[in-house]
């Protein structure tokens, strides 16, 4: 009886292979490292070759044994090929393309549309107008006794809201807090709280007057901004009087000037990107302005305590003559520093944002104006004339400073100044927009 025969698949021809030598019960290839022979061409399925970047060893194969490129009909399909033939999963829908049904999102969108419109500015003007009417009625006087205090609460709330909106704060939160605190002060009747509210109104008015300005290419626009800043501070002085403060006048003036200066420097530090961009000329200018503020305040306090000397007595004679014949005398600090700082600052802001540092010293004009009506010996007409004279003389000094600045920087001649003015186009948010 002959030995059992095994049949192997040939790679090229269908001719059966010669009988193999006797082998054990389980036939095995001669070498486990030999590649498997290919099936007949008639019963094969060709699989595309894998990309060059695929690893040489597929999952499920032994290391050192390459995967077959031709597989018979009865061979199981490789898992990797099934994964390649599987259809792609559908993309998840984009959340931004889905319709919004959240009520909170709709409310936020409505609030954004309202805040971007002119409705907040119109509401601010309406509140200021209503408060001015109430305060003037209290000065005349007309109406109930609580009307001036109510006007001060409304004006302080509106100014605080506008200052926060202008400087990038939280106007709704700050306005609500000021309104609640003002109402508590008005209902409590405590004089100490009323004095604190009067100081707050004066400081906020002085800061808002400076922060509400916009850059100006020429002197005309700079003069307009100075007038606007003093107008805001003047309205704020009515709110200060509505609280009925009883502080000492000199102490009240110093406290308002100090707090306004500190607040302006802190706000401007963020708007002008710190001190590193000032340059040598800017640092000298800021140092001179700060020195003028300190020396002027210290000299006024020395005169008040120790009395004037011979030269100062002559100057006081001029002051008395001016008040007698012209009705008032301009405030020195406002005339020499405050108004020129605003004029030159807004002119410089049209060219460099470091002009904000000069505008910060504009509180030397707005702070005295916001506290002007606290002086019991000074009438409303004298306070108004003093502000007007200081404004006119300050504008003249500011004009000279601008011309000197243009001459120092090389802009001489009418044609050069005209070209420089046309090129001054530094972008800055509008008057009713957030500064940062």
Distance CA(394)–CA(396), nearest Å, equals: 5
Q: Give me the pLDDT at residue 165, please.
A: 93
pTM: 0.72
Q: How many Å apart are CA 407 and CA 236, to the nearest integer?
A: 38
- pLDDT score for 210: 96
pLDDT at 18 (0 to 100): 56
| 66 Cβ neighbours under 8 A, 6+ residues apart | 35, 56, 57
Single out the residue of 230, 231, 234, 238 nearest to residue 151, CA to CA.
238
> Taking Cα atoms as reference points, which of 260, 209, 238, 201 lies closest to residue 372?
238
Domain boundaries, the chain: 190-423
Please name which of 300, 312, 299, 328 lies closest in space to residue 393, comparing C-alpha atoms. Answer: 328
On the CB side of 259, how many CA atoms lie within 13 Å of its CA? 18
The predicted structure's pLDDT at residue 436: 75
Structure tokens at 128: 């200021």
Place of tokens 């790679």: 11
pLDDT (0 to 100) of residue 110? 72
Residue 312: predicted pLDDT? 61
Burial 382-395, CB ≥16 within 10 A → b, else e: bbbbbbebbbebbb
Question: Closest Cα partner for 365 from 397, 389, 387, 396?
Answer: 387
* pLDDT tens track, the chain, 436 positions: 444 444 444 444 455 555 555 555 545 444 444 444 444 444 444 454 444 444 444 444 444 444 444 444 444 444 444 444 444 444 444 444 444 445 556 666 776 777 677 888 899 999 999 999 999 998 888 888 899 999 999 999 999 999 999 998 899 999 999 999 999 999 998 999 999 999 999 999 999 999 999 999 889 999 999 999 999 999 999 999 999 888 888 889 999 999 999 999 999 988 866 676 677 777 888 888 888 888 888 877 776 666 555 656 667 787 788 888 888 889 989 999 999 999 999 999 988 888 899 999 999 999 999 999 888 778 888 899 999 999 999 999 999 999 888 888 766 666 666 776 666 777 888 888 888 7
The closest alpha carbon to 245, from 164, 177, 190, 324, belongs to: 190
Q: How far apart are CA 69 and CA 239, in angstroms?
A: 93
Q: What is the pLDDT of residue 36?
A: 46
Distance CA 209, CA 211 (A): 6
């Amino acid at each position: 009886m002959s030995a059992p025969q095994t049949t192997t698949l040939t790679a090229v021809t269908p001719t059966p292979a010669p009988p193999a030598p006797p082998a054990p019960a389980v036939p095995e290839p001669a070498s486990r490292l030999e590649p498997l022979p290919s099936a007949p061409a008639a019963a094969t399925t060709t699989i595309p070759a894998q990309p060059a970047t695929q690893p040489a060893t597929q999952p499920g194969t032994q290391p050192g044994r390459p995967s077959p490129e031709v597989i018979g009909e009865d061979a199981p399909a490789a898992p990797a090929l099934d994964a390649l033939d599987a259809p792609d999963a559908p993309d998840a829908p984009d959340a931004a393309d889905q319709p919004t049904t959240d009520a909170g999102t709709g409310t936020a969108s409505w609030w954004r549309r309202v805040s971007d419109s002119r409705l907040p500015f119109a509401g601010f003007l309406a509140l200021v107008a209503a408060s001015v009417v109430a305060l003037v009625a209290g000065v005349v006087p007309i109406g109930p006794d609580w009307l001036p205090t109510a006007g001060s609460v409304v004006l302080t709330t509106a100014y605080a809201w506008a200052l926060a909106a202008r400087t990038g704060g939280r106007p709704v939160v700050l306005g609500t807090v000021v309104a609640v605190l003002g109402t508590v002060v008005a209902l409590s009747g405590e004089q100490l709280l009323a004095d604190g509210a009067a100081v707050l109104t004066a400081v906020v008015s002085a800061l808002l007057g400076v922060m509400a300005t916009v850059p100006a290419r020429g002197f005309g626009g700079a003069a307009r901004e100075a007038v606007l800043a003093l107008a805001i501070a003047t309205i704020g002085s009515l709110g200060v009087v509505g609280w009925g403060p009883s502080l000492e006048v000199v102490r009240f003036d110093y406290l308002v000037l100090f707090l306004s200066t500190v607040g302006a420097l802190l706000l401007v530090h963020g708007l002008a990107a710190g001190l590193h961009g000032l340059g040598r000329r800017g640092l000298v200018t800021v140092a001179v302005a700060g020195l003028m503020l300190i020396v002027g305040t210290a000299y006024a306090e020395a005169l008040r305590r120790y009395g004037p000397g011979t030269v100062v007595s002559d100057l006081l004679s001029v002051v008395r003559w001016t008040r007698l014949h012209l009705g008032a005398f301009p405030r020195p600090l406002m005339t020499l520093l405050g108004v020129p700082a605003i004029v030159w600052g807004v002119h410089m802001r049209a060219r460099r944002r470091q002009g904000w540092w000069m505008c910060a010293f504009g509180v030397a004009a707005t702070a005295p104006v916001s506290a002007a009506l606290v002086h019991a010996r000074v009438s409303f007409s004298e306070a108004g004339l003093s502000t007007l004279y200081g404004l006119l003389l300050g504008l003249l000094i500011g004009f000279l400073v601008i011309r000197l600045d243009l001459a120092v920087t090389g802009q001489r001649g009418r044609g050069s100044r005209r070209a420089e003015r046309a090129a001054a186009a530094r972008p800055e948010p509008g008057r009713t927009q957030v500064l940062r």
